Every structure is written in structure tokens, then in C-alpha cells.
Amino acid sequence: MRRVLHIGPCESNGGMKNVMLSLANHPPTGFEASLLSSHKTGSILTKWMAFRKATKKLSQIISKNSTKPDVIHIHTAADWSWRRKKHFVTKARQANIATIIHIHSGKFNTWLDPSGANSASAKRATKMKRFLSEQKVQTVVLSEEWKAILEPMIGDVEVISNPVNPNLIIDSSIERIEGKLLLLGRNDPVKGHDFAIEVAAMARKSNPIVTLSMSGIENANEDWISAMGWISEQEKIENLHNSNILLVPSKWEGQPLVILEAMACGLPIIANDSLAQLPDNIGKASLENKQQWVDNILETIKSNSANIDYSQQLDQYKIENVQQKWLQLYEQLIKEQS
């Protein structure tokens, strides 16, 4: 049995954690998978200690034939996430292990933009492209849109979409709460919590039944807002089943996994129209036009949308189809490494 080791924030809340767990729990045929956590939520010191612990653990794993993986699959976002992950790449390649850089963050295009006014971003792009080429690692992005954006900056990339948790399905026995808007995301300005509050407040002027439930934040000034803070996977599933509309006003996403999860549960969606790889049959609105969001919200509530069948759009994201793509890439890299 061949082995793949996933390295990344598998113990920190967020979409990357969910992807890592899905891939580790459903490895390709002929592989067994394990996880190495490289991040811990908290202070800079807490994050640094988690990184040092992971670095030490990786050294131990690759030093023994009995634990040495055939593939090291590294999950990264931009900025400091990538700066830390470079150290794992170097260690893996020094041990002659096939290595994958799996880019999750939609911020990479602005962080690396070589054509921008910020010369530092141009230098970052040049340095990253050189590093990936010299280390002979395979970079993977989440969509053809991101391939077109990032390949000119960092060199050859492959496209493999995130899988949808196979446990997420439509549950018609759960009644959706009319007017309940849902936002799922960490407490970060990029996720659009304040924007969601604004458009929900505007919608309430026409339809007072509108409420808003949001993960990531723990306090709210209005009784119609439910600030849920961190929620468990089960709580997330319950909200995906009983809400009326999912709002995704994120400024950017590598691939909005929450949209795929909502689709699997049949939940109507309204998303920022500038996000990459949005399905055709979901609601879209511009962050520059709050009234467009309000109109979409009110129309969706009025149409009494229940469960929507997105099955055709979700086919490529089924775990078995994603597994097959990873199998082909793993085998290719192992062959090239031998």
C-alpha cells in the first residue's frame, strides 16, 4: 500500500481543513493517507510553535522507510501560509519524495500579481516560480479560471476541484425557515459579514420576516441576527438544511467550498458575481450593488424556493471523480520520481 501525507491546517477551522479531511478519509485506490497539522489558531507565537512542531514531526516521518510517504501533498494559502509551507517542500524534496503544492487561496493572484504597481508582488511571483521549478514540485489549483490566472505567474499547474463531502445530501424531512439567510465563514473582512448585515437590514424594510445567521462572529447588535461563532460540522449541516438562502458576499475565494456544500443540500444561493467558477443556476449579484442583493433575496423568498436539484452541476465534485484525478497525478509523480 502506497502512502500520501497531507500537510496543512487540518486542525484549524475553515474550508481547507474540510478538504484535507475529505481527501484523507477517501484516498485513491491503492493509497493510505495520513495528516500532519501545520497550523494552530491563536497568537503569532502559537502559530510558530505549531509550525516548528510540524517541521520536527515531518523530519521524523521521512527519516524511516516504515513511515516515509510516497507523496507529500501540501495544502497552502497565500502570504505567510506559503512562506511556512516552503520549508516542508524543501524537506520533502531533499528526501526525494514526490511533492504537490495544492493552492487553496484566491488571494494568490493579488499577492503575486507581477503586473501590479507593487514591485514586491512581482518579486514574490518570480521567486515562487523559480522555487517551484528548482524543487520540481507539481502545483495544483482548483479551477480552470485559476489556472489561467496563476500559470503565467508561477509556471505549470494542474486543475483538480475540491470534493463535496459525500455525507451532504438533500434532506426533505427538514423544513426550511422562511426568510432565514445564512453566511458561513471565518471572522475575516474578506468573508463579507458586514455586507451581509447591510443587505439583510435593507431586505427587512420590505419583508420583516428576514433573519440572518452567521458563523465566525460571536456578537450581534440586532435580535434578528444570530451570531453563531464557531459551529461544529453537524451544526453547519443543520443550518444548510433549514435555511432559506445562503449568502456568499466573499471578496475572493479559491473555490467557494461552502457553495458546493449548499448545493449538495439543495439550498438556494446568492453569491458575489466576481467569484471564479460559479455555477450557472445560482443567484449572482455585484458587491457594488447592494440593491441587487436585496432584490435577489426578496425574490427568492417570494418564490418559496425549497430544495433545488443541483445534481448535474455537482457531478465533477463527487469524491469518486476527484479521487480518480488525484490517483492519476500521484502515480505520475511517483513514476517520475523513481
Tens-place pLDDT, residues 194-217: 999 999 999 999 999 999 999 999
Per-residue pLDDT tens over the stretch 261-301: 999 999 999 999 998 778 888 999 999 999 999 999 999 99
Average pLDDT score, the chain? 92
> If we measure between CA atoms, which residue out of 322, 266, 195, 254 comes closest to residue 15?
254
Burial 252-285 (b: 16+ CB within 10 A, else e): bbbbbbbbbbbbbbbbbbbbbeebbbbeeebbbb
The x, y and z cell numbers of residue 15, run together, are 474550508
Highest mean pLDDT among 115-119, 172-176, 284-288: 284-288
- In contact, 38 and 11? CB cutoff 8 Å: no
Q: Provide CB contacts within 8 A for 61, sequence distance 6+.
A: 5, 36, 67, 68, 69
Q: What is the pLDDT of residues 227-274, one digit of tens each?
A: 999 898 889 999 999 999 999 999 877 677 889 999 999 999 999 999
Distance CA 31, CA 12 (A): 25
Q: How far apart are CA 55 and CA 235, in angstroms?
A: 33
